[in-house]
Amino acid sequence: MNQAEAGAWSAVVLGGGDPGDAFAAAHGVSVKPLIDLAGSAMATYVLRALRESGRVRRVLYVGPTTPEIEALTDGRVTDHGTLLSNLEAGVEALRSTGLPPGERVLVVTADIPMLSAQAVRDVLEAASTDAALIYPVVRREICEAQYPGVKRTYARLRDGTFTGGNLFLLDPALIGQFLPRLRAILAARKAPLRLAGIVGPGVLLGLLTGRLTVEALEKRVSDLLGVRACALVTPHASVGTDVDKEADLDLARRHLVRQS
């Protein structure tokens, strides 16, 4: 029996954020996952999907909470202010409480309120590879079919056009190995020459021209991070549809009304 079949996943939900987030402030809250959505904080929909999936036994939440959020979690970690710092703090908190050898951790951002229990189950059950980092991606046509008019950032590859997911799976024992390298890549993302020096000009050109394959990108990311990384194509657009502007919030409200 593998980890997904055993319902043995532990999860870290990233609910922190920039205290100066104008979007959150406009809605009268300190961070985006606390924005009210149909009567509940945005983060609660993510937490319910994890709980209702039947695959997640323990959830640690990083960031400020509400009583409703606390009722759906097993512990809280103080917000450290940045995505990667919160990731590291959440995973380290899980490790300090004891994780079985070889168990991978599910990491989810708290701003994907349309996430469903079925999407969580499908992603976890498809994660049969032994890669240290598994990153779900969604095809553009799937996103636009499930959420007409949705605006996302896409990467055009030879295999198709994809957007990245807002959940991923990782081996917590290796987090100290690849996080410093990931920080360097993110710090250079708005400086093309610096980024080309890190990822390689050939890879960057392949991304810009749409000639790079998923397999080649996996290999390069694995080389950069020093661990085996794998992309997982999922048919669930909710995995890659976060809320970071008013149009996204309106989309989520319409979806949740239809769902109810």
Extended strands (E) in the chain: 9-14, 36-37, 40-41, 56-62, 75-77, 105-109, 133-139, 155-157, 160-164, 167-170, 229-233
CB 150 within 8 A of CB 116: no
For the chain, list the domains and their CATH numbers.
Answer: 9-259 (3.90.550.10)
Q: What is the pLDDT of residues 236-250, one digit of tens each?
A: 999 999 999 999 999
Give the count of beta carbons closer than 10 Å to the beta carbon of residue 99: 17
Q: What is the pTM of this model?
A: 0.90
Token pair for 185: 């890549």
**Distance between CA atoms of 186 and 199, rounded to whole angstroms?**
11
Q: What is the pLDDT of residues 27-66, one digit of tens each?
A: 999 999 999 998 999 999 999 999 999 999 999 999 999 9
Among 89-98, 159-168, 199-208, 216-225, the range scoring the smallest mean pLDDT is: 199-208
The mean per-residue pLDDT over the stretch 187-212 comes to 71
Cα Rg of the chain (Å, integer): 18
CB 12 within 8 A of CB 108: yes
Give CA 72 to chain center in angstroms: 19
